[in-house]
Amino acid sequence: MQDMEPNRVDEPKTNEKVVNRLVACINDRRVEVMDELFHDDAVMHWPQSGEVVRGAENRRGIYNAFPQLPTITPRRLVGGGDLVVLEASLDYGGPTYETVFIFEFRDGKIAKETAYWSEAFEAPAWRAPWVEKT
């Protein structure tokens, strides 16, 4: 029988640390750090707008041209193996978007990012008897 370690809170795993660094570099407006976190051939997939960003050159172009980078407030970060999921709010100094990022890793760097985001909206009144407002 294999000995099991007692339950304890572990430090974030390597891939989760990469995502935390990504959030920090965007919040600090230091997008050049992204080159350390993404593979040169990484793909960013944005299904809602129907866009795919392929490679470091295109990623740099987009992030350097952003009219205003968001401030990212992480809400939940979970990972296992080569997959990390981040739920966060993105504040563009006006509109705020609720976002889910799915990161796929290869050799400790991001190989693919898929992002879904939506601007907050008012909940319909008909659901009120069954829900809690956050």
The CATH number linked to 92 is: 3.10.450.50
- The answer on pLDDT for 11 being more than 70 is no
Number of domains in the chain: 1
Q: Which domain holds residue 96?
A: 14-120
When pLDDT is cut at 50, 70 and 90, the band that residue 121 belongs to is: confident
- In angstroms, rounded to a whole number, what is the distance separating the alpha carbons of residues 134 and 131? 9
The one-character DSSP state at 82 is T
In a domain? residue 42: yes
- In angstroms, rounded to a whole number, what is the distance separating the alpha carbons of residues 79 and 11? 12
- The structure's pTM equals 0.86
When pLDDT is cut at 50, 70 and 90, the band that residue 8 belongs to is: very low
When pLDDT is cut at 50, 70 and 90, the band that residue 95 belongs to is: confident
> Which range among 9-18, 27-36, 76-85 shows the weakest confidence by mean pLDDT?
9-18
In a domain? residue 5: no
